[in-house]
Structure formats: structure tokens, C-alpha cells
Amino acid sequence: MQQIHTYAKKGTRNGPLMKPGVFITLEGIDGTGKSTQIRQLVRHLRKSGRQVLVTREPGGTRVGERIRAILLAASTGRLAALAELALMYAARAQHLEEVVRPALQRGEIVVSDRYNDASFAYQGFGRKLGLRTVQAFDRIICGDTQADLTIVLDLNPGQALERAQGRDARQGTSRGRFEAQGLQFYRRVRAGYLALARRAPLRVKVVRADQPVASVQNEIRAIVERLLASRTKKGKRGF
């Protein structure tokens, strides 16, 4: 809890406690092309001279990557939904303390491949734990460290699963615990993301992923550049 209170609430004036960096997260069901889009976005931001830290969840730290292995391996077998949620937030707590908060304090742009919206969509909606349960973890672990911008890549689950399975076949990887869930699960997760976007339309932007890679990237860049321009106007430090 101590950690959380070192961050000023959003909307407070620039002061010594203000989080100077920018926190951008990318979300979507598996198979939406998120990794490719993140790679291209980060390359673009760095080319324009910005300090960018790119990371992912679950993972991003040594401990987090070990937790990730448990969460994703098919060999883990059945995990109680609450155990799955708690492990996601355990990895997140480590990630926040070791990686995300220090980078934001240094004024960097943090781009994370998934963050807490994934828990709302996958565990809250997909596993049917409900928003309140996830919110309770979120309040304790994330506190005021919330994304400034979240981009949800949206694709119908049939198409997305096909893509994810095609990738697994190409890379010789096996389907993990999540990809083995099937269509109904992914329909709930997608509905969850869209519901989150409706609840927080200023922060969460939905981009259709059933377009050519370059078009998706252009939309993402335009959204990110708008945010960065508005931050610069407000006189924030960091870029």
C-alpha cells in the first residue's frame, strides 16, 4: 500500500508526486496481431526520439515470467479461477514495483502488452468472476497506477482463434491453457473488452484488427500521437 500512496491522484497539478511518464497498454483476445503491432509502434516511437520501455504481462520480471509459465502451460492443468486471478495480480505487483513505476517516474513511455484490463476481460468476464472481485485486486495492487491509454485490438473470436492456432502451428508451439478454452470463452472475453471500452471511452480505444497490418498500425499511431501531443501541451515532462 505504501507504494501506491507515493503516486498522486490523476488530475492533480504537476508536483513532485506527479507520475511524469505515460502508460500505454495494448489488449485484445489472443490472435489479434498484438505483438506485431506493439513491435511496430515501439519502433516508431523510438525513431522519433522518445524513451520507451516495452514490457508484457503476465511477466516482465524474473518472478513474473515464472508465474507466467505456470499460468500458460497446458501441463498446469486446472487452476481455480481465483487462483488464476491471484497469480495474475502477483505477477503484476512484481512488475509494477520492479519495472513499471520506476520507468514512469523516470518519465518514460511504458508500453505494456496487456495489463489490468486483461484480468477484467479474461478472469472477470471469461472466467465469470465478475468485475467486483477483479476490482478488489486492482485497488490493492494497481492503485493509482492506471493506464493513460489502452488500445483494444478487436477481432471476432473465430478469426482470432484461427490466427492464434496458425501461429502455433508455424512456430511449433502447443496451445496453452487459454487458447484451449474455445469459442464461448473468447466470446465472453471479447464482450468484456468492449464493455470496458464503453465504460471508459476516453481511455480505452477500440481498433478493428480485421484490416491490413499497416492500416491497424496507422490507427494505433494516430491515437498514441494524439495522447502524446495533449500531454506535451499540458506541459508534462518526459517527451
Residue 27 in contact with ligand TYD, rule: CB under 6 A: no
Nearest residue (CB) to ligand TYD, 19 versus 68 = 68
Segment 129 to 148, residues that bind ligand TYD, using CB under 6 A: none
Residue 157 in contact with ligand TYD, rule: CB under 6 A: no
Residue 56 in contact with ligand TYD, rule: CB under 6 A: yes
Which of 25, 55, 94, 119 binds ligand TYD (CB under 6 A)? It is 119
Least CB distance to ligand TYD at residue 201 (A):
22
Least CB distance to ligand TYD at residue 147 (A):
12
Selected range binding ligand TYD among 93-101, 119-127, 135-143, 200-208, rule: CB under 6 A: 119-127
CB-based closest residue to ligand TYD: 122
Phi-psi map region of 10: left, alpha, beta (phi>0 left; psi -120 to 50 alpha)? beta
Q: In angstroms, rounded to a whole number, what is the distance separating the alpha carbons of residues 156 and 164? A: 12
Nearest residue (CB) to ligand TYD, 141 versus 228 = 141
Q: Which residues bind ligand TYD (CB under 6 A)?
A: 30, 35, 56-58, 72, 88, 113-114, 118-119, 122-123, 178
